């Protein structure tokens, strides 16, 4: 058995497959295109959840959200099995994570198994973790704990991280440039031995603020950049009926969204260039995945909550390891949670009890499942942010799950919702189909896999003040 390959797991946060594949076909993301040359491209990949926390939990564990237990009611990552980073570390990998998303951070225990983990809000590695300090009840306790922490851990780095987050972190982009620079530093300076590098990029996430040149290139010809910059990008006001938006408004937002992906492509180019210069492309497995998609006016929604339509769960997925895995396009339905088994296989972990449907066709089933255990933000939080909600908006206060087999897709809710779609005839899920026999068949398969559907329970998640501020900036809470 030869040496273990380096592994780069690159998550494009909030990336809908239709937009990503469209830009590929138009030649507008050439660095992603270069990266995918020689890759296995999965054309029908489904995310386990429609937003960051449950989806990452599934990719890190190979489990569905209701099985790993990490979602809005319990965002701390404490799975019942061994997460992928820990498995790889035990196999001799140097494991490093860099994330632009505040949910995927040490504050929510997503650093399990990583030798080092850093967020895009940190300027330096090795500063003190301060989230728990902000939860202390009195200023005196906070000051004493902060003094102790800064004394124990590099004070200069900790103070530098605080200043960077407050004054500079969001000046240029959503963290892509910083994340890529940190990744390049890791690639250049890490000692010999296999490396596992996890990167979460947030560019396609609200707010859409791409560079001016790319924005102008994507905008409709009759729309000025300043007009586009002034559009409402607060999803909760729109969802709550406090802000009206026209089809043209959403066309403009989709243009900005595409421009964000094109900007991210430039940063991926920097990463690729370093891998080529180091002559390690052939011994490096690269996984690209969207954790979930995005609604940009689709289904009367913005952002990535409150539904399980294809706009949120159909995501890009590709694996590039050219000397070992033959490049091809796979049209079979697959799930992003299956990245877990694929990485175990690629790293030669010998985990015989872990299935690997992405790389072994014989392990591949014919069904894909997504879950939305509870609304995030809750209706109470949404009402606090956007004002009093009408009865129609309160209908989002439910758990959801969905299953797809072939063209048929069933979405069911804890409130009794049942929607059946034929995705071949109705790919945008506009008109539910009345077919009781088909719906019952899919429902029974869901019950066999996950049990009966119940409401998620919104518990207090004890989010520290600074992290809460970051999440509010991103529209999560």
User: What pLDDT score does 363 carry?
Assistant: 81
SS3 assignment for 131-172: HHHHHCCCHHHHHHHHHHHHHHCCHHHHHHHHHHHHHCCCCC
Residue 51 lies in a domain: yes
User: What pLDDT score does 129 carry?
Assistant: 54
Q: pLDDT of 373-395, one tens digit each?
A: 999 999 999 998 888 899 999 99
User: What pLDDT score does 188 carry?
Assistant: 85
Question: In 385-467, at which residue ranges do the beta strands (DSSP E only) sit?
Answer: 400-405, 408-413, 418-422
| Both structure tokens of 355 | 């299935």
CA dihedral 123, 127, 128, 131 (to 10 degrees): 20
Residue 86 lies in a domain: yes
In this prediction, the residues of the chain whose per-residue pLDDT falls under 70 are: 1-2, 122-172, 191, 456-477
Q: Which domain holds residue 333?
A: 6-121+169-366
This prediction has a pTM of: 0.88
Is the CB of residue 41 less than 8 Å from the CB of residue 52? no
Domain of 270, CATH number, reads 3.40.720.10
Collapsing DSSP to helix, strand or coil, 89 comes out as helix
Tell me how many domains the chain contains.
1
Q: Pick from 46, 19, 21: which is nearest to 313 by CA?
A: 46
Is the CB of residue 403 less than 8 Å from the CB of residue 333? no
Q: Pick from 85, 56, 86, 83: which is nearest to 71 by CA?
A: 56
User: What pLDDT score does 342 carry?
Assistant: 96
Residue 103 lies in a domain: yes
Residue 126 lies in a domain: no
Residue 187 lies in a domain: yes
User: What pLDDT score does 165 carry?
Assistant: 44
User: What pLDDT score does 282 carry?
Assistant: 87
Q: pLDDT of 21-36, one tens digit each?
A: 999 999 999 999 999 9
Residue 141 lies in a domain: no
User: What pLDDT score does 150 carry?
Assistant: 58
User: What pLDDT score does 264 carry?
Assistant: 98
Is the CB of residue 69 less than 8 Å from the CB of residue 83? no
Is the CB of residue 264 less than 8 Å from the CB of residue 201? yes
């Amino acid at each position: 058995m030869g040496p273990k390959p380096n592994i780069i797991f690159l998550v494009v946060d909030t990336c809908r497959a239709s937009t990503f594949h469209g830009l590929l076909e138009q030649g507008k993301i050439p660095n992603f295109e270069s990266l995918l040359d020689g890759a296995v491209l999965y054309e029908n990949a489904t995310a386990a959840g429609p937003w960051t926390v449950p989806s990452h939990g599934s990719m890190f564990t190979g489990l569905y959200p209701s099985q790993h237990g990490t979602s809005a009611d319990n965002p701390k990552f404490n799975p019942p099995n061994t997460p992928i980073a820990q498995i790889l570390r035990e196999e001799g990998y140097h494991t490093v994570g860099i994330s632009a998303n505040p949910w995927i951070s040490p504050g929510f225990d997503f650093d399990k198994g990583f030798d080092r983990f850093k967020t895009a809000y940190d300027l330096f590695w090795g500063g003190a973790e301060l989230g728990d300090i902000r939860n202390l009840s009195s200023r005196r306790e906070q000051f004493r704990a902060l003094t102790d922490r800064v004394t124990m851990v590099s004070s200069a780095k900790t103070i530098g991280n605080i200043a960077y987050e407050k004054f500079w972190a969001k000046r240029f982009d959503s963290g892509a440039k910083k994340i890529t620079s940190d990744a390049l530093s890791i690639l250049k300076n890490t000692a010999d031995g296999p490396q596992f590098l996890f990167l979460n990029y947030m560019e396609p996430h609200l707010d859409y603020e791409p560079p001016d040149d790319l924005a102008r290139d994507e905008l409709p010809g009759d729309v000025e950049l300043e007009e586009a910059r002034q559009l409402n990008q607060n999803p909760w006001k729109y969802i709550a009926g406090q802000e009206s938006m026209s089809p043209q408004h959403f066309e403009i937002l989709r243009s900005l969204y595409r421009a964000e992906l094109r900007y991210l492509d430039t940063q991926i180019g920097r990463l690729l260039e370093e891998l080529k210069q180091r002559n390690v492309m052939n011994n490096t497995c690269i996984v690209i995945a969207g954790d979930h998609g995005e609604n940009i006016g689709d289904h009367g929604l913005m952002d990535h909550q409150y539904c399980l339509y294809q706009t949120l769960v159909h995501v890009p997925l590709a694996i590039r390891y050219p000397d070992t895995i033959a490049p091809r396009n796979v049209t079979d339905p697959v799930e992003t949670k299956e990245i877990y088994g694929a990485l175990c296989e690629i790293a030669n972990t010998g985990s015989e009890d872990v299935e690997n449907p992405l790389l072994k066709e014989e392990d591949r089933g014919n069904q894909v499942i997504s879950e939305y255990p509870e609304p995030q933000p809750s209706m109470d939080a949404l009402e606090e942010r956007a004002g009093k909600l009408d009865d129609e908006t309160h209908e989002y206060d439910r758990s959801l799950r969905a299953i797809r087999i072939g063209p048929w897709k069933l979405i069911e809710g804890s409130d009794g919702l049942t929607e059946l779609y034929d995705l071949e005839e109705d790919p945008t899920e506009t008109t539910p189909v009345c077919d009781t026999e088909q719906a019952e068949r899919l429902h029974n398969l869901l019950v066999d896999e996950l049990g009966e559907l119940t409401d998620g329970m919104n518990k207090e998640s004890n989010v520290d003040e600074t992290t809460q501020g970051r999440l509010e900036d991103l529209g999560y809470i």
